A = this chain, B = another copy of it.
Amino acid sequence: MIKNNAASMISKIRDAANQVIVTELHKHGVDNIVPSHGDILTFLYQQDGLSVKELAHKIRRKQPTVTVLVDKLVKLGYVQRTKMEEDTRVTRVMLTEKGRQLEPVFREVSDKLNKTLYGGLDNTEQEQLEALLDRILRSF
């Protein structure tokens, strides 16, 4: 019997996942960070020196939002801004040593979250889940 409550459940899972992220980071001594900050750092671990615009696209937030998020990461000492010499309009966001040191923490938090999300499902169900979510996402 279909309950048509997927929207509600997805919203609840999103909130719960964000709370896991914040709580786990806190356990590792990382505070004053929201998931969006984590998203930025995670993309920088994959490719350091991304521009504000590129980061905005990747984390799906507007550019002014990213400017503010980066302000905070700078203040916390995790990243620094440098200008691109070919085009000084562009700001590269670069990890600091302190920022790089957080990489294993983010890996652990990510693993912990995925264990919660996927842990109760067998392989077939995990594939079903991803396939269904992917199809829903494409329907928007």
Is A135 a contact of B121 with CB atoms below 8 Å? yes
**Which residues of chain A have a CB within 8 Å of any CB of chain B?**
2-7, 9-17, 20, 60, 113-114, 116-121, 123, 125-130, 132-140
7 contacts between A and B (CB under 8 A): A3-B130, A6-B117, A7-B113, A9-B134, A15-B60, A120-B138, A129-B132
A87 CB to nearest B CB, Å: 30
Provide the residues of chain B in CB contact with A114, threshold 8 Å.
4, 6-7
User: In the complex the two chains form, what is the Cα distance from A3 to B9 in whole Å?
Assistant: 21
Is A137 a contact of B3 with CB atoms below 8 Å? no
Provide the residues of chain B in CB contact with A135, threshold 8 Å.
120-121
Is A2 a contact of B123 with CB atoms below 8 Å? yes
By beta carbon, the residue of chain B nearest A14 is: B14
Provide the residues of chain B in CB contact with A17, threshold 8 Å.
7, 10-11
User: In the complex the two chains form, what is the Cα distance from A130 to B13 in whole Å?
Assistant: 12
Is A7 a contact of B117 with CB atoms below 8 Å? yes
A124 CB to nearest B CB, Å: 10
Is B133 a contact of A9 with CB atoms below 8 Å? yes
Is A13 a contact of B133 with CB atoms below 8 Å? yes
By beta carbon, the residue of chain B nearest A139 is: B120
Is B133 a contact of A120 with CB atoms below 8 Å? no
